[in-house]
Amino acid sequence: MMMLCRAAVEDVEGDVGELESKLDKLVKLSIGMIDAGRVYSHANRQFINGIRDLALQSSRDDVIGSSLAAFAETLQEMNNYHTILFDQAQRSVRSQLQTFVKEDLRKFKEVKKQFDKASEEKEVALVKNAQVPRNKPHEVDEATNILTTTRKCFRHIALDYVLQINVLQSKKRLEILKSMLSFMNSNLSFFQQGYTLFSDLQPLMKQLGGQLVVDSAKEKRDMEQKHSAIQQQDLSSEDCGLQVSVDCEDGVMMEGYLFKRASNAFKTWNRRWFSIQHNQLVYQKRFRDNPTVVVEDLRLCTVKQCEDVERRFCFEVVSPNKSCMLQADSEKLRQFWTKAVQNSIATAYRENGEEPAARLQRESSASLGSLDSLGECRSVRADSPLHRVLSIRGNQNCCDCGEAEPRWASINLGITLCIACSGIHRWSYCTLYTLY
């Protein structure tokens, strides 16, 4: 009977040792799962923030912006549920099982140590009792008493050990199943909340899915029609890449690509994006580059076509300080640009309060040989184009004969003339204005 009891105890001890090993492994796995879940939650949160940023960037498209915002909100709620699930796994699996291992299994081990010690003491008492000679009654009585006491102590500790085994077996079932049941309920709540959350989002997803199919088919059909129409057009049109605007809110009257001849010794030609805006001629190498101003005030310029250069379709914008040689892609585009520069000059004068045609008619009808024929005395304003011509170095004298205090100026060429020389050059291509 004792052998059967000892065998049963040894079997229980083996099961408890294996149970402790499995529980330790499960706790470590739960720790790894929770840590990985928190890393996932952090990465998921960053992904959701990326969706929100994309929604803000797509705010001009209401469909994309509102849909991405709704998706991000739903995913954020799911991420919150994930965080709750990991917290509950922390409490139910990790904490409870760790408590069971540290407290209940430790108590079992302590009682087992006492049982093993009492069992060893009993074995020692049995051996001593067996070794006592019968001719020594005093030692016999002492060994018998020690054996009796040791047996009583062993029986008491053995009962405690058996009780601890039964308690451990019962508590093992309770703690393990209670812990896993709590974790499974957490998963149930998580998936129920996710189902409810996505059920509310499902109508939007179905509507959006159907809308995307319809829109995709419509866009494909429209693109095919546009592609077919473009194929039927003449792609060699000279107006390609040219944009003209008459009433422009941003001040850009005309823009397009032109070749510009550099002012260096090599006279290289570079293709740049030119535009006429705010009474200035500017160009850009790339779209986002700051514009480089070629001519600050077109009212001080003239434009003429150039046939004496090696390249075709060239025209020149001449200002008082410098000239800029440009080349269009065709004769038609050259005419467009020449007309655009002339119209910009006319528009600038209209904005300044005087029609250039009326001014030219008034000045051409006046005698250039005498100031009295003008019938009035005019002064040069500090902010006028004439003042800019006068401020150029060397214009304090007539550009032709060198006489001091010249009384006429060519804004287009940026030069000054005396009254005699102005009469000589009045029929040239420059336009002359009186200085005072």
Amino acid letter, residue 52: R
| pLDDT tens, position by position, 9-21 | 777 777 777 888 8
Q: What spatial distance separates the first Cα and last Cα of the chain, rounded to whole Å?
A: 140
- Of the candidates 105, 56, 85, which has an alpha carbon nearest to the alpha carbon of residue 191? 85
- CA 357, distance to chain mean position in Å, is 54
How far apart (Å, rounded) are the C-alpha atoms in residues 263 and 72?
Answer: 57
- Of the candidates 250, 254, 431, 430, which has an alpha carbon nearest to the alpha carbon of residue 334? 254
Hey, CA dihedral for 276, 282, 285, 289, is it positive or negative?
Answer: negative
Amino acid letter, residue 27: V
pLDDT at 273 over 70: yes
Helix (H, G, I), strand (E, B) or coil at 338: helix
For residues 287-307, b (16+ Cβ closer than 10 Å) or e, as one string?
eeeeeeebbebbbbbbbeeee
145 token code pair? 């008493």
Q: Is the distance from CB of 286 to CB of 274 less than 8 angstroms? A: no
Q: Is the distance from CB of 332 to CB of 238 less than 8 angstroms? A: yes
Which residues pair with residue 408 across a beta bridge?
417, 434
Q: Is the distance from CB of 279 to CB of 295 less than 8 angstroms? A: no
Q: Is the distance from CB of 300 to CB of 385 less than 8 angstroms? A: yes
**Position 428 confidence tier, pLDDT thresholds 50, 70, 90:** low
129 token code pair? 């009792």
Specify the length of the chain in residues: 436
103-112, 199-208, 230-239: which is most confident: 199-208
Mean pLDDT of the chain: 79
Helix (H, G, I), strand (E, B) or coil at 379: coil
| pLDDT tens, position by position, 353-384 | 554 444 444 443 333 322 232 223 344 555 56
**Helix axis angle, 2-57 to 137-232, nearest 10°:** 20
| pLDDT tens, position by position, 275-307 | 998 888 999 988 788 889 988 888 778 888 998
**Helix axis angle, 62-89 to 2-57, nearest 10°:** 160
- Identify the structural domains of the chain with CATH numbers, from first to last: 2-220 (1.20.1270.60), 242-351 (2.30.29.30), 368-434 (1.10.220.150)
How far apart (Å, rounded) are the C-alpha atoms in residues 194 and 75?
Answer: 10
- Of the candidates 66, 43, 49, which has an alpha carbon nearest to the alpha carbon of residue 201? 66
Amino acid letter, residue 73: E
How far apart (Å, rounded) are the C-alpha atoms in residues 90 and 99?
Answer: 12
Ranges 94-108, 110-124, 202-216, 243-257: which has the least confidence:
243-257
